[in-house]
Structure 1
Amino acid sequence: MTLPRAALVSLDATPWYHLVNRCVRRAFLCGTDSVSGQSYEHRRGWIADRLRQLAGVFAIDVAAYAVMSNHYHLVVRVDAARAAKWSDDEVLRRWTMLFTGPLLVQRYRAGTDLLPAEMVAVKELAATYRERLVDVSWFMRVLNEAVARQANAEDGVKGRFWEGRFKSQALLDEAAIFSAMAYVDLNPIHACMAESPESSDFTSLSERLAELHGDHQAAEGAAPEPVSASLDAPTSGRQAAAWCETLPLQPLMPFDATAQLPNAIPFGFEDYLELVETTGRCQRPDKRGLIEGRVPKLLDRLGIDPEAFIAASTTLLTRFGSAVGTPESLTACCAARQARHLRGMRAARELYERRAA
């Protein structure tokens, strides 16, 4: 039975999610069409810049991403506590960076004196917008709609650009977060789009490595590509959304194994690099037998079987269903959703339960 989105994306279960969206009929989002010879490579930057702009508006942090030829992957964390601390003025400021908002909100932000009843209405709108700023569906909708309109305008066509609503997997524990991030960052390598993490353009890992060398556009202070697509807010009738062309690019979530930094990925970056590199090499058939058979430190710490991890690094989306985690985490998720079972329990046992020596 298909579960409603509210059950699949529940912050009571986890703030971490793996998200995927594909183009309709598997059409080209980016890359070069082998039939027509037309290059859509520039569209990959639309996704990379747009999602990081939105991360600076929403209370949703981006931990990993990969933009492929006809789809993209994200690993995000929703920070509801951060949004709860925002004042109503801050919420309205953020929302009106994306949408013009009702006339009442425009008057309030312009400093116009409002009647008591109007102030009550403004507070109600701020409460609504606060909920949307921690809503993964709204985040994906604003991201996808802007890209779809811009791509359709470029192609001179109308109609659907995305095949449907995004797919989501709840990441229930640290092992699941780590597996999903590695799966996303290695996607271009597994698809033969790149030979190494640093050469796999438009992935979070290549961006992090570029920033270490100081040659990424964000490090250089380059302005992002202007957003030309306009949006219509469904709750504001005919009002058009006003994208701010100067929205800054929000940095990716930092790594912090010590858990001292707020809103950080709970691993060490060096450990993560070591594992991704090792796993990526093991996935290459011509080199699999030549890789040194040592277990990366992070796999050991999380109790993940290394051989099972390598096998699952290309099949995370298919072997698991709407949630990824250890057997215990999946069992708890089943109980919370009042479901009989979740797809992926067998994979969880193979991946996250260490084998006896």
Structure 2
Amino acid sequence: MIAYFLRTVWNQQDKRGQSTLDKRGQSTLIGVDGWGWGGRNEVLFSFSSLWGHTMARLARADVFDPDEVAIAHVISRTVRRCFLFGDDPVSGKNFDHRKVWIEKYLTHFAKCFGIDLIAFAILSNHYHLVLRSRPDVVKQWDDTEVARRWLMLCPHRKDSNGNPLPPTESELNGIRKCPVELAKIRSRLSDISWWMRLLNQRVAQRANLEDEQVGRFFQDRYKAVKLIDEAAVLACATYVDLNPIRAAMAETIEQSDHTSAQRRVEAITGGPSVDSDDGLQHDDSFLSPVEIDEAAEQPGPNLSKSGSRCSEKGFLWFSKERYLELLDWTARQIADGKPGRTPDGLAPILKRLGLESSVWCELVTDFGKLFKTVAGNPFHVDAHRSRQTQRRFRVSRRVRDLIPSG
């Protein structure tokens, strides 16, 4: 087939082309399409040029190891980026209540999956999540716990409000007594792809039913970027939490509705700044703790004590209060466009990352543009390889300019 393709193109070039000299002084035919040929035995173009030098997207399995604890930034957008979670100019309707749906699903999923929810932001046509898979936690659950959690995610029975009912012994035995199915479900409970699959499926079905529509609600494939070092995790979490401010949907963290930052603030202040009857959980008990307390935390999975989240393991080396302070300062730089002095309390954080305040603000503002598949210090990304093909991951030139390697 390839030979036929080359012969066909050669014949077309032979008829339409004109003779010229290449850099080596050899006769070359340049056709109207600009393809060069060095005689019939030598082809001077690469096949990648036929497809615009665009590399195919890597398979998830080539980036994420299901048996490895990994942190990922995931984004899912509605079809054609329509505003199906907010004010839709096409229909003239407001769909803000769908943001409440998503947040309630996130709260429920955090209780059932072996995945830590680090950060989230729900906007009018897409949402951001920062998730940490925890196969080490799932391994600690016995067969009954695995079956129970799965049946709370995919229940056989629901109450009148559509909430899952606790599984019966018969339903539990249907999973516990089938080793193959049990192993499959155990793997799914720490799989970010299954989290996204069930979340998007629930939202899409509910929205289509409400709109009396059929077909796709979300774009084909969600985007996932693997975060491989602490600088990437901090920059990405900040980027996600400040998305409403960056999009001019809010002016402060407290006003950034449907974000993890707002929930963390409410956990400190004791509730929402305004009266709310949306039925949401206005605290951060379902979110991953911020600080990794090396003195208090026991090594290992550190399972959740409350049952409202996967584990008690934090994701940063400083406190929640300091993280919110960093968010507030960064938000002021993004909103005002007038970089000011970095507070003394934040200077050690940026110094540890080896970043200037201006570099930090650019990383947070343009995180989604700067990183595509893997995010981190260029030195760490260069040392990282895809699982199946051992390919290196691309780092943009701008990232190399911003972040010193090493």
The TM tier, using the shorter chain, reads 0.7 to 0.9
Q: CA deviation at 1:215?
A: 1.4
Match of 1:150 in 2: 206
Q: CA deviation at 1:270?
A: 2.5
Match of 1:288 among 338, 341, 363: 338
The 1:345/1:336 distance shift into structure 2, 3 A limit, reads: farther
Match of 1:243 in 2: none
Q: CA deviation at 1:338?
A: 4.3
Say yes or no: does 1:4 pair with 2:59: yes
Amino-acid identity (%): 35
**C-alpha distance in 2 between matches for 1:14 and 1:353:** 26
Q: CA deviation at 1:150?
A: 0.6
Match of 1:208 in 2: 264
Match of 2:219 in 1: 163
Match of 2:376 in 1: 325
2:249 match: secondary structure: coil
The 1:258/1:120 distance shift into structure 2, 3 A limit, reads: closer
**C-alpha distance in 2 between matches for 1:299 and 1:70:** 32
Q: CA deviation at 1:292?
A: 2.3
Provide the TM-score with structure 2 as the length reference: 0.72
The 1:306/1:154 distance shift into structure 2, 3 A limit, reads: same
Q: How many residues align?
A: 322
Match of 2:348 in 1: 297
**C-alpha distance in 2 between matches for 1:14 and 1:124:** 23
Match of 1:73 in 2: 128
- Aligned-partner residue type, residue 321 of structure 1: K
Structure with higher Rg: it is: 2
The 1:307/1:193 distance shift into structure 2, 3 A limit, reads: same
Match of 2:53 in 1: none
1:233-272, aligned counterparts within 5 Å?
Answer: 251-259=286-294, 260-261=296-297, 262=302, 263-267=313-317, 268-272=319-323
Say yes or no: does 1:84 pair with 2:139: yes
1:283 match: secondary structure: helix
**C-alpha distance in 1 between matches for 2:128 and 2:323:** 18
What is the root-mean-square deviation in Å for CA atoms of aligned residues?
3.1
Deviations 1:101-157 (A, max 9, x none): 7xxxxxx9535998xxx9995122111100000111111001000000111111111
Q: CA deviation at 1:12?
A: 6.1
**C-alpha distance in 2 between matches for 1:15 and 1:112:** 31
- Aligned-partner residue type, residue 315 of structure 2: I
1:28-43, aligned counterparts within 5 Å?
Answer: 28-43=83-98
**C-alpha distance in 1 between matches for 2:266 and 2:236:** 21
Gaps of 5+ in 1: 102-107, 226-248
Q: CA deviation at 1:336?
A: 5.1
1:40 match: secondary structure: coil
**C-alpha distance in 2 between matches for 1:13 and 1:125:** 21
Q: CA deviation at 1:9?
A: 2.3
**C-alpha distance in 1 between matches for 2:172 and 2:347:** 62
8 A contact 1:62–1:75 mirrored in 2 = yes
Structure possessing the higher relative contact order (Cα contacts under 8 Å, 6 or more residues apart)? 1
**C-alpha distance in 2 between matches for 1:42 and 1:17:** 26
The 1:38/1:192 distance shift into structure 2, 3 A limit, reads: same
Q: Which region of structure 1 is more displaced relative to structure 2, 48-57 or 335-344?
A: 335-344
2:83 match: secondary structure: coil
Q: CA deviation at 1:353?
A: 2.1
- Aligned-partner residue type, residue 97 of structure 2: H
Match of 1:231 in 2: none
**C-alpha distance in 1 between matches for 2:172 and 2:110:** 32
8 A contact 1:14–1:172 mirrored in 2 = no
**C-alpha distance in 2 between matches for 1:13 and 1:328:** 21
Say yes or no: does 1:346 pair with 2:397: yes
1:34-73, aligned counterparts within 5 Å?
Answer: 34-73=89-128
8 A contact 2:175–2:182 mirrored in 1 = no
**C-alpha distance in 1 between matches for 2:100 and 2:327:** 23
Provide the TM-score with structure 1 as the length reference: 0.81
Say yes or no: does 1:174 pair with 2:230: yes
Gaps of 5+ in 2: 1-55, 157-166, 303-312
1:288 match: secondary structure: coil
The 1:191/1:112 distance shift into structure 2, 3 A limit, reads: closer
**C-alpha distance in 1 between matches for 2:292 and 2:65:** 25
